[in-house]
Amino acid sequence: DAKTTQPNSMESNEEEPVHLPCNHSTISGTDYIHWYRQLPSQGPEYVIHGLTSNVNNRMASLAIAEDRKSSTLILHRATLRDAAVYYCILRDVSPAGSEKLVFGKGTKLTVNP
């Protein structure tokens, strides 16, 4: 089962910043926080991941709370191409060592022109 909680949908205006929240209160010390997004009719696309410190890349920034029980994906200037479903995921590792991403329903982001 997904271990994260996200709002079902959010709306933004073009060229404005977007903050997408995620709660993961049961996170363990070794869980990485991953974000993926899925554009219509495409497979999910990796956005960013982090463990404890805030992370930046060319697509977005990831702000992780000090207690790691929540995080926020930040799109600095939303464009129409950022309209997608955004998934916040904790990487699941089994006792046997195999690992996988367990997706929830994500947040559907609508960007208004």
Partner 1 sequence: DTGVSQNPRHKITKRGQNVTFRCDPISEHNRLYWYRQTLGQGPEFLTYFQNEAQLEKSRLLSDRFSAERPKGSFSTLEIQRTEQGDSAMYLCASSLAHIGNNYGYTFGSGTRLTVV
Would you tell me which residues interact with partner 1 (CB under 8 A)? Answer: 2, 32, 34, 36, 41-46, 49, 51, 85, 87, 91, 94, 96, 98-106
CB of 35 to partner 1, least distance (A): 9
CB of 5 to partner 1, least distance (A): 13
Place of tokens 């000090």: 66
CB of 14 to partner 1, least distance (A): 25
Contact present, 7 and 22 (Cβ < 8 Å): no
Rounded Cα distance between 79 and 93, Å, is 34
Nearest alpha-carbon partner for 77 in 7, 12, 9, 11: 12
Nearest to partner 1 of 49, 74 (CB atom): 49
